[in-house]
Amino acid sequence: MAWLGRGEQWTEKDFLLTLAYTEYLEGMHSCGYPRHVCQHPDNAGGWFETEVVTCYATEAIDLETSSEGYKPEPGGALVAVYKRDLSKDPLPPGNGR
């Protein structure tokens, strides 16, 4: 058996769960739908609609990278860092996807 990071051995269940998750991921398309749904010929012609949603993390990155004079450091990756203290300022229920 292989070893997990903390000296624990993988069980047969660990292997099966990993295999199942890998199969699931390989069946997904980059659009977020399973390939057997989004690429099925019977779904052509209007079965999918679009709507605009805003990712505020991506918005922060887009605003930074489009600002005048923005120049990333060599090898640098711009990431969004969540700064809201949810213990003091919790999000209201709903509206999340």
- Taking the whole predicted model, whether its pTM rises above 0.85 is answered as no
Report the chain (97 residues): mean pLDDT per 10 consecutive residues: 69 94 96 95 94 95 93 91 95 78
CA gap 81, 84 in Å, rounded:
9
Q: What is the pLDDT of residue 2?
A: 61
CA gap 21, 72 in Å, rounded:
35
Residue 44 lies in a domain: yes
Would you state the structure tokens that stand for residue 37, as one six-digit string? 């749904």
Q: What is the pLDDT of residue 8?
A: 79
Would you state the structure tokens that stand for residue 92, as one six-digit string? 């209201």
Q: Would you call 68 helix, strand, or coil by DSSP?
A: coil
Question: Left if phi > 0, otherwise alpha if psi is -120 to 50, otherwise beta: which for 32?
Answer: left
**Can you give the residue range of the structural domain that contains 53?**
1-68+78-83
CA gap 34, 25 in Å, rounded:
9
List, in sequence order, the alpha helices (H) in the chain. 12-26, 35-38, 56-66
Residue 5 lies in a domain: yes
Q: What is the pLDDT of residue 9?
A: 85
Domains contained in the chain, number: 1
